């Protein structure tokens, strides 16, 4: 029996239809537009983003990148970019997930099976490398993470503007619902954390990132969780979702 292949565009369309309580169709006649409500487009302008920078935590963890290489390189790349696009707090927050105890166990397991580990000549060199992974976990665990606030000390101009706009919409209308489109799973997870902690009145954040083998701190999205999130959005339990 042949394998059934899913078109990503079709899957995205079905998800969007469910979230918006709508049906996406292509009309033969453009005259139908005269009878449909026109959405109001707004352009939001935010201040120039910061230049990307290394936070104190990032610098402390850098030696780990030289040891485990590709296992954590996507996290380092994301954290460096996030320091500019999302802000310092968001850049540090990713390590809460990507260097959790369960993730460190997986990182160590993959590293001990790697060519780099087996190329080390002495048992002491191998032990030193493994100790570096353990130290990274300790550094993250004892690190005093910054208290989150809606300021440039924590968040980028773009995220601060999003916070301001969502505050206006949700404070004035408790029935507001919105979808925040992002490009990466990590961004969806961290933005959900931001708005959960900042507690905008009437806003109940969630994430919808689709189903794949990619993870956020070892957490995968199953079809069951995917459908649960969509049901919660339809019911209003979640009314602001970051979606990939």
The model's pLDDT over 58-90, given as tens digits with 9 standing for 90+, comes to 999 998 887 776 678 899 999 999 999 999 999
* Final residue of a structural domain among 142, 172, 202: 142
Let me know if residue 4 belongs to a domain: no
Among the three residues 127, 142, 157, which one is the final residue of a domain in this structure?
A: 142
Q: Is residue 27 situated within a structural domain?
A: no
CA distances from 59 to 62, 84, 140, 174 (A): 5, 16, 12, 42
- In eight-state DSSP terms, residue 219 is B
Domain that holds residue 72: 56-142
**Mind listing the pLDDT tens digit for each residue in 104-130?**
999 889 888 888 888 888 999 899 888
SS (H, E, C) 115-143: HHHHCCCCHHHHHHHHHHHHHHHHHHHHC
Q: Is the pLDDT reported for residue 190 higher than 90?
A: yes
Q: What total number of domains does the chain contain?
A: 2
Q: Is the pTM of this model over 0.85?
A: no
User: pLDDT tens digits for 26-50?
Assistant: 767 767 667 666 778 889 999 998 8
Question: pLDDT tens-digit profile of 155-182?
Answer: 999 999 999 999 999 998 988 989 899 9
């Amino acid at each position: 029996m042949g394998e059934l292949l899913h078109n990503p565009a079709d899957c995205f369309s079905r998800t969007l239809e469910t979230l918006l309580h709508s049906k996406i169709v292509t009309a033969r006649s453009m005259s139908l537009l005269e009878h449909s409500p026109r959405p109001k487009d707004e352009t939001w302008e935010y201040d120039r983003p910061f230049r990307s920078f290394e936070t104190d935590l990032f610098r402390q963890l850098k030696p780990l990148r030289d040891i485990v290489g590709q296992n954590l390189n996507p996290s380092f790349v994301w954290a460096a970019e996030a320091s500019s696009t999302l802000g310092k707090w968001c850049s540090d927050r990713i390590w809460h997930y990507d260097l959790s105890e369960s993730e460190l166990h997986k990182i160590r397991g993959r590293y001990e099976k790697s060519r780099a580990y087996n190329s080390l000549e002495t048992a002491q060199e191998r032990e030193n490398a493994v100790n570096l992974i353990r130290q990274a976990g300790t550094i993250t665990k004892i690190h005093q993470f910054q208290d989150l606030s809606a300021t440039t000390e924590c968040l980028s101009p773009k995220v601060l503007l999003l916070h301001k706009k969502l505050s206006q919409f949700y404070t004035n209308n408790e029935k507001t619902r919105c979808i925040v489109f992002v490009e990466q799973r990590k961004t969806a997870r961290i933005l959900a954390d931001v708005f959960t902690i900042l507690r905008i009145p009437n806003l109940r954040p969630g994430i919808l990132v689709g189903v794949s083998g990619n993870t956020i701190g070892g957490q995968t999205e199953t079809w069951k969780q995917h459908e649960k999130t969509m049901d919660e959005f339809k019911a209003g339990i979640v009314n602001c979702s970051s979606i990939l």
